[in-house]
Amino acid sequence: MKTLTSLITILMILSLSAFGQEVEFKNPKIIEVGKISKGGIIEGTLDFVNNSGQSVEIEKIKPSCGCTTIEPDQLVYASGESGSIPYTIDTEKFNGVIQKSITIHFKDNTPPKQTFFIRANVVTDISISPRFINFQNVEQNADTTLTEFFEIENESDQAIEIVSIHTKSPLVKVVPESVEIPAGKSHLIRLELVPSEPGRHNAQILISANHSKEKEKKIPVFVNVVSPVSGSR
């Protein structure tokens, strides 16, 4: 009798042990993507095996951001069945380091929900510094040319053609008006201001590039020309 009882107990323990195993995900909780160009699409899958000893059903999958698209092939998985949940993240609206989460909820919380974090560093292929140019409280003088510089840097792995650099301001001149920047290099652009008219003459430098994602950049230019003080000339 004791032998039969012991056998039943062992079978129950083995059964509960098998039943208690969870869905086994192959991905780490934090998925590191590394650098990706702005506007690029992050693609991946959440892969798992159902080791729970019974069929499981995904009730919902909740991303932390509308930029994330998730399209599972199916929602119910039999015991022992493998699954793969594809996801995409659109980086068009982001700059710098981002972290987006995906939470998978199972029906009746069996197994418990699983949350994964996708991290990436969204970089721009074309970066410009400084972010604006200031010509403030410049004394009016039609015979003077003032200069400032900004830098266009190509952070991509191929040459980028800057097809046009211009402004509509009659007081500001840009040199050069076009340039090809090799991969990993930068180029200084010179702004020349002739303060011939008093007043505020704010403008924008428009930069057009032969690039699939970053076709246009803008730099504000703040100009304030003041009338010369009497007797200063």
| CATH (domain of 33) | 2.60.40.10
**In the chain, % of residues over pLDDT 70:** 89
**What's the average model confidence in pLDDT over 93-113?**
92
- Identify whether residues 57 and 84 lie together within a single domain: yes
Residue 232 has pLDDT above 60, yes or no: no
**What's the average model confidence in pLDDT over 95-122?**
94
* Per-position DSSP letters for the chain, written without gaps between them: -HHHHHHHHHHHHHHHHHHH--EEE-S-SEEEEEEEETT-EEEEEEEEEE-SSS-EEEEEEEESSTTEEE--S-SEE-TT-EEEEEEEEE-TT--EEEEEEEEEEEGGGSS--EEEEEEEEEE-SEEEESS-EEEEEEEP-TT--EEEEEEEEE-SSS-EEEEEEE-S-TTEEEE-S-EEE-TT-EEEEEEEE---S-EE--EEEEEEE--SS--EEEEEEEEEEEPPPTT--
Q: What are phi and psi of 212, to 5 degrees?
A: -65, -30
- Identify whether residues 89 and 140 lie together within a single domain: no
Residue 145 has pLDDT above 90, yes or no: yes
pLDDT at 91 (0 to 100) = 94
- Identify whether residues 174 and 104 lie together within a single domain: no
- Identify whether residues 83 and 167 lie together within a single domain: no
At 3-43, the pLDDT tens digits run 544 544 444 444 433 334 589 999 999 999 999 988 889 99
**In the chain, % of residues over pLDDT 90:** 76
pLDDT at 230 (0 to 100) = 64
Domain count, the chain: 2
**What's the average model confidence in pLDDT over 143-154?**
96
**What's the average model confidence in pLDDT over 194-214?**
93
Which of 63, 97, 123 terminates a domain? The answer is 123
pTM for the model = 0.63
Alpha-carbon torsion (228, 229, 232, 233), positive or negative: positive
Residue 2 has pLDDT above 90, yes or no: no
- Identify whether residues 162 and 211 lie together within a single domain: yes
Confidence of residue 130 (pLDDT cuts 50, 70, 90): very high
Residue 2 in any domain: the answer is no
Residue 214 has pLDDT above 70, yes or no: yes
Residue 93 has pLDDT above 60, yes or no: yes
Whose tokens are 């969204």? That residue is 122
Domain of residue 89 covers: 22-123
pLDDT at 213 (0 to 100) = 81
- Identify whether residues 210 and 137 lie together within a single domain: yes
- Which tops the pLDDT comparison, 22 or 180? 180
Residue 51 in any domain: the answer is yes
pLDDT at 195 (0 to 100) = 96
Which residues lie below 8 Å from residue 36, measured CB to CB, with a gap of 6+? 42, 91, 120, 121, 122, 123
- Range in 74-78, 152-156, 210-214, 223-227 the model is least confident about: 210-214
- Identify whether residues 92 and 158 lie together within a single domain: no
